[in-house]
Amino acid sequence: MPKCTINGKEIEVKDGTTIIEAMHHHDMHIAHYCWHPGLSVAGVCRLCMIEIEGMPRVQIACNTVVTEGMKINNTSQKVKEAVKWGLDFHLINHPLDCPICDQAGECGLQEQYMEYGKYDPEMAEKKVKKHKVVDLGPTVVLDSERCILCSRCVRFTTEVSKSNELGIFNRGDRSEIGTFEEKPLNNKYSLNTVDICPVGALTSKDFRFRQRVWYLKDAETVCNGCSTGCKVQTFFNKEGLFRVKPVYDKEVNGYWMCDDGRDLYKFVNREHRYLKASHREGSGWTQVIPGAAAKEAAAAVTAAGDKLALVLTGQYTVEEYEKIVSIFSKDLKTKKIYHWLNNKETVNSFDGLLIRGDKNPNTKGLLQTLQKHNISTAWSELESGLASGAIKTVVVAGPENHAFFKDIEEKVQLFNKAGTVIWLQAAKNPALEKLSGNAWIIPMKSYVEKDGTFINHAGQHRKFKRVTTVVSESLTLGEAAELLAGHQIMVKPESNLLVEADRQADKVTVEHRKKNEFVFKRGAL
């Protein structure tokens, strides 16, 4: 365990720790582009300059291992001068198109320039021309002129995704990132390259040109895309959510997340959500306020007696399961609570990095809750119950992320047999229009609108906090359970921070956005 002094502060580090790692662990600031804690050391940006006592030249912190008694500083004039020049070399051929660059506001070059730069440029020659708008694959676009060739993306595809799509072609200042012939950047983790790109060279086709980052707020939550439960950061404003990025979590996802998880903000936005509850009587649907709809439906639920069944999917929080299962089993006295498993075949598959076959974030939480309440039922019992008429009322806690529930339509047909269906659902699904008989669709809150816990595949409790409110009148599963059981609760329409429900302005934006859909559509430039 060598001890060293960095900027006058004595610290002790593990054997083999490099200086930049030591500084990173102790939250000391050091300029760097090519070094990334999740990747190997490249040592090419030459920005993490440090001065070590007894060494005549400045050294790079990323490839220098701490030794006993080392005296390091990165605040001296010599270091600042070296970093300033390192930055200047990065910038001489950089197009400086910040006003039209998506990275502006979160760009490594801007950050370091404000700290070490602020000089009058001396470069009077013409800049190197390189390729702009290079289509690397279905998710990522490259601007070679902005690229500083830190090689993070190349190392990511070699070391993490192990798909080896990217390489640096050509030599010297003609070098460019590129893909090999007939082999585009197309893997399940490709958008991580955009996250680790310190400049605006790699941009996500999904996010580019949609928002300036300084108009976005961010908050952490847990991805609900699969049973891994990656820690993520969502970026949103009053128009809704715009993107999802991974947050470092040592035990679960490291520095990465999959591309599927980044799409999960989409069904959360207003245009994809049920804003009002719908009630079907006879032939047509009528729109009702969600809380009122739940109260109305309560009559059918409490009257059902032992002909009541509850169907749960693994997409709600442990707290919600606890509430709904205890209300249904204790107050409504039914043990007919079933687990709707969407993908039996792939449920245990795993791609070796992050993606798991179980596309529900909280299957384990659901199973644990059911076990706690001594409920063990089989899906076949539900089917036979519906066929025989032993079940007349079904309450369904539908999947909010229904992309992986291919069998929704089939299930709608199945539940229609009951006669009365109360479907609790956050995201719109056309299959639900096929509900017949006495049916309610009650809007639920999505995972970004509530606090809670998911239990992931490994049994880790993934707690998360509310990010924002998108549909303020929607209910949590717990609230819905209370209301359906006939309990009186106050559903406070949560003080929506930014939008009142159905504000005219929002509709205009949605319309406007639809017009420009060709720009936002993934896969198109």
Q: Pick the binder of another protein from 2, 38, 43, 184 (CB under 8 A).
A: 43
Distance CA 143, CA 295 (A): 55
* Helix segments in 50-166, DSSP class H: 77-91, 108-116, 152-155
Q: Of 143-151, 382-390, 477-485, 517-525, which segment contacts another protein by CB under 8 A?
A: 143-151
Q: Pick the binder of another protein from 149, 241, 427, 475 (CB under 8 A).
A: 149
Q: Minimum distance between the CB of residue 55 and another protein, rounded to whole angstroms?
A: 11
Please identify, using beta-carbon distances, which residue of 151 and 468 lies nearer to another protein.
151
Please identify, using beta-carbon distances, which residue of 175 and 413 lies nearer to another protein.
175
Q: Give how many residues touch another protein by CB under 8 A.
A: 34
Looking at the DSSP assignment, which residues form a beta bridge with residue 6? 9, 72
Q: Minimum distance between the CB of residue 185 and another protein, rounded to whole angstroms?
A: 19
Residues 422-451 that bind another protein (CB under 8 A): none
Q: Pick the binder of another protein from 168, 353, 403, 431 (CB under 8 A).
A: 168
Q: Minimum distance between the CB of residue 49 and another protein, rounded to whole angstroms?
A: 8
Distance CA 485, CA 56 (A): 77
Q: Which residue has the tokens 């006879």?
A: 282
Please identify, using beta-carbon distances, which residue of 90 and 392 lies nearer to another protein.
90
Distance CA 496, CA 236 (A): 14
Q: Are 366 and 321 in contact (CB under 8 A)?
A: yes
SS3 74: coil
> Nearest-CA neighbor of 404 among 225, 270, 190, 241?
225
Q: Pick the binder of another protein from 32, 36, 46, 417 (CB under 8 A).
A: 46
Distance CA 519, CA 525 (A): 7
Please identify, using beta-carbon distances, which residue of 155 and 243 lies nearer to another protein.
155
Q: Pick the binder of another protein from 158, 175, 186, 460 (CB under 8 A).
A: 175
Q: Pick the binder of another protein from 125, 181, 182, 517 (CB under 8 A).
A: 125
Q: Minimum distance between the CB of residue 84 and another protein, rounded to whole angstroms?
A: 9
The two tokens of residue 270 are 């207003």
Q: Minimum distance between the CB of residue 255 and another protein, rounded to whole angstroms?
A: 21
Q: Of 12-20, 39-47, 398-406, 426-434, which segment contacts another protein by CB under 8 A?
A: 39-47
Direct distance between the N- and C-terminal alpha carbons of the chain, in angstroms, rounded to an integer: 52
Residues 59-118 that bind another protein (CB under 8 A): 63, 82, 85-86, 89-90, 92-93
Distance CA 219, CA 236 (A): 8
Q: Give residue 452's region: left, alpha or beta (phi > 0; psi -120 to 50).
A: left
Distance CA 322, CA 373 (A): 9
Please identify, using beta-carbon distances, which residue of 47 and 264 lies nearer to another protein.
47
Pairing of strands 3-6, 9-12: antiparallel
Pairing of strands 438-443, 176-179: unpaired
- Report the interface residues with another protein, using CB under 8 A: 41-47, 57-58, 63, 82, 85-86, 89-90, 92-93, 122-126, 128, 148-149, 151, 167-168, 170-175
